[in-house]
Amino acid sequence: MLALVVDDELEIREGLRTGFPWRDFGIESVLIADDGDSALELALTQEPDLIVTDIRMKRMSGLELIETLGARRPNGWKAIVISGYDDFDMVRQAMKLGAMDYILKPISTAELGEVLQRAISQLEQEKTDRKNRALLNDQINSALPKIRGELIREILEQDYDPYRETRILHRLRTLKDEWMVAGPAVVMLFEADDLKAVENRDGLRREKELILFGIGNVVKQTLEEEYAEPFLLCQDSKSRWAAVLRCSREESGARLEELGNLCIERIHSFVKVKASAALCAVPGSLSELHARYAEAEEILEQKAIYGGDRLLTSRGWEQEADAENPPITNPDEVLDLIRYGTEEDIRAAMNRFYELVQSWSLGSIKDIQQHIFEWLLSIFKKAAQYGWSEQSWQRNPMVLWDRLERFDTLESLRGQAESCLLEMARDFGKLSSSPGQIIQEAERYILRHYADNLTLQSVAQEVHVTPVWLSKLFKKEKRQTFLEYVTEVRMENAKTMLGEVRYKIYQISSLVGYKDPVHFTKLFKKQTGWTPKEFRRLQGIADE
């Protein structure tokens, strides 16, 4: 740091320069000036961080110096004024002009040190803030992008209201975004995975904002480079980036999926975080965009169940997840595999054993044996909590270690690990709840809570299994997916309510668990073949 001392008295000027321990405060060099004119020239050319100036001087005063320098160099420096006891009016003026503090004559080095420390702290904080603001404001360096983002967020997040249409159309035309009025568009949502974990880490107060900025920047640049049609991008109220892309109804869904996957790859490369995206690939008009956005939200919620770090679409996400063997990295999921899967399920899941070992990035067979030993012990501990009576591993875990240590190839180690899991499965077969009982509990819970925001995660938690295995059990026992079953329950209740005059259709939508009546109408027609109004007419009830 650089300081400038300004005083027309040589004794004070030199005394401050040589008699004060500037280096103790991180100030490497001290310039001096004997009046405001020469001080201003030095301040403009050398750009000192701190200026300590007498308030009364011949020719240009300290007040004039601060005022003139503030107009020509608004940021990056702090002023401390030196005054006498009769200079308080001038001190007040100096503070209004931006001086951070004052010191009375005769100057106390202790007092100067305290004021100097505060000034340096403020300078360092302001420097950090400027740096962070520069990073965050690259995309929002003018009012227009902010206004555009607020408008798009309003269109997506609020129910369509024909009474607001004229105002929205006017704002879109003002922003030169008339294409949203003329043509259909699709909605794509991007979200950082595990963002709350980043937000709660100590010492990383601004990392969340930087990650969000980085994701938005990558998505924007990718769409600019790879997508020929117009698009708009905004940050929604849940810290996600929503892209609205003009798209003809004949546009290839594969092309849009390719675009979404490319965005995720680039987020990995440039922002260094995992992210998920949801694509509602059905084009919609301006009045339909809220419903398309709501559908994209529902699609994105499935990442908590079936895994993030990928593009999710409205087709096949659940079937695609079920098509794979469940992962064996999570002890809870392995335990459900043991409790509810068949021996064939266990053997098939162990095909991912090599993937598990590779994830450890180990170089020696001893280290691999040690990690397999710890992995099995973690499963054993979980099993004991669910009533597994075999305790020899706890009394003498070295028996398990000796068993593993005898094998020095991955294939043979896999065989030993698989054998342990199969032995546990046979024990659990004698005492655990049947898959049918688990599904019955889940059904009872869904029938009581179908109007709530049900997810596979929340129901799995109630019946004490992992989401992956509840999904598999639904497919096995009910011959339908979890989502299909919940939708069926909701639609049956909706049919009953539609036969009662006291309910409006929008009320029924909410009462059976759908916040968006348009989305409810679409699902109801898909399930029954009629819209809610048409179904109500069949019951002999007139339109609302």
CATH number of the domain where residue 177 is located: 3.30.70.270
d(CA 459, CA 454): 7
Element of type H or E holding 109: helix 109-136
pLDDT at 530 over 50: yes
d(CA 148, CA 165): 16
Q: Using CA of residue 487, residue 488, residue 491, residue 493, what is the dihedral sign?
A: negative
The amino acid sitting at 339 is R
78: β partners:
50
Q: How far is CA 110 from CA 54, 84, 85, 538, in A?
A: 18, 17, 19, 89
- How confident is the model over 339-361, as a mean pLDDT? 84
Q: How far is CA 148 from CA 145, 155, 233, 350, in A?
A: 5, 11, 9, 51
Query: Which of residues 431 and 16 earns the better pLDDT score?
Result: 16
Element of type H or E holding 234: strand 231-235
Which structural domain range is residue 200 located in? 143-313
Answer yes or no: is 435 within a domain: no
Answer yes or no: is 437 within a domain: no
Give 366's contacts (C-beta < 8 A, 6+ positions apart). Answer: none
pLDDT at 116 over 70: yes
d(CA 52, CA 42): 13
Interaxial angle between packed helices 36-46 and 62-72, expressed in degrees from 0 to 180 and rounded to the nearest 10: 30
pLDDT at 197 over 70: no
For residue 327, the model assigns a pLDDT of 64
d(CA 458, CA 469): 13
Model confidence band, residue 315 (pLDDT cutoffs 50, 70, 90) = low
pLDDT at 140 over 80: no
For residue 222, the model assigns a pLDDT of 95
- SS3 state at 284: strand
Model confidence band, residue 320 (pLDDT cutoffs 50, 70, 90) = very low
- How confident is the model over 111-119, as a mean pLDDT? 91
Give 246's contacts (C-beta < 8 A, 6+ positions apart). Answer: 179, 180, 183, 184, 185, 229, 230, 231
Domain end, chosen from 121, 136, 151, is at: 136
> Are both 33 and 171 inside the same structural domain?
no
Answer yes or no: is 48 within a domain: yes
- Put the strands of the sheet holding 241-246 in their side by side order: 231-235, 241-246, 185-192, 275-284, 311-313
- Put the strands of the sheet holding 50-54 in their side by side order: 29-33, 2-6, 50-54, 78-83, 101-104
Number of separate domains in the chain: 4
> Are both 122 and 161 inside the same structural domain?
no
d(CA 66, CA 90): 12
Answer yes or no: is 170 within a domain: yes
Model confidence band, residue 138 (pLDDT cutoffs 50, 70, 90) = low
pLDDT digits (tens, 9 = 90+) for 255-268: 888 899 999 999 99
For residue 408, the model assigns a pLDDT of 72
Model confidence band, residue 429 (pLDDT cutoffs 50, 70, 90) = confident
> Are both 116 and 10 inside the same structural domain?
yes
Model confidence band, residue 316 (pLDDT cutoffs 50, 70, 90) = very low
d(CA 224, CA 359): 35
Answer yes or no: is 355 within a domain: yes
For residue 75, the model assigns a pLDDT of 86
Domain end, chosen from 105, 136, 167, is at: 136
- How confident is the model over 291-319, as a mean pLDDT? 72
For residue 466, the model assigns a pLDDT of 80
CATH of the domain at 512: 1.10.10.60
Q: What is the DSSP string of 193-216?
A: TTHHHHHTSTT-TTHHHHHHHHHH
- Name the percent of the chain lying above pLDDT 90: 31
The full 3-state SS of 416-481, as one line of letters, equals HHHHHHHHHHHHHCCCCCCHHHHHHHHHHHHHHHCCCCCCHHHHHHHHCCCHHHHHHHHHHHHCCC
pLDDT at 326 over 90: no
Residues 336, 469 contacting (CB under 8 angstroms): yes
162-171, 195-204, 218-227, range with greatest mean pLDDT: 218-227
Q: Which of 361, 298, 210 is nearest to 514 (CA)?
A: 298
> Are both 85 and 150 inside the same structural domain?
no
> Are both 185 and 299 inside the same structural domain?
yes
Answer yes or no: is 320 within a domain: no
> Are both 421 and 356 inside the same structural domain?
yes
Give 537's contacts (C-beta < 8 A, 6+ positions apart). Answer: 543
For residue 318, the model assigns a pLDDT of 42
> Are both 198 and 257 inside the same structural domain?
yes
Q: How far is CA 463 from the centre of its chain?
A: 29
> Are both 384 and 530 inside the same structural domain?
no
> Are both 254 and 197 inside the same structural domain?
yes
d(CA 374, CA 206): 37
> Are both 196 and 280 inside the same structural domain?
yes
> Are both 421 and 449 inside the same structural domain?
no
Give 261's contacts (C-beta < 8 A, 6+ positions apart). Answer: 311
- How confident is the model over 328-342, as a mean pLDDT? 83
Q: How far is CA 449 from the centre of its chain?
A: 28
CATH of the domain at 85: 3.40.50.2300
For residue 322, the model assigns a pLDDT of 40
CB atoms within 10 A of CB 277: 29
Residue 91: exposed, middle, or buried by beta-carbon count in 10 A (0-12, 13-18, 19+)? buried
| Strand 101-104, strand 185-192: pairing | unpaired
Answer yes or no: is 162 within a domain: yes
pLDDT at 319 over 50: no
Alpha-helix runs per DSSP H in 47-87: 62-72
pLDDT at 123 over 70: yes
Answer yes or no: is 397 within a domain: yes
Model confidence band, residue 180 (pLDDT cutoffs 50, 70, 90) = confident
> Are both 227 and 355 inside the same structural domain?
no
Average pLDDT over all residues of the chain: 85
d(CA 292, CA 519): 8
Domain end, chosen from 136, 162, 195, is at: 136
Q: Using CA of residue 498, residue 504, residue 510, residue 514, what is the dihedral sign?
A: positive
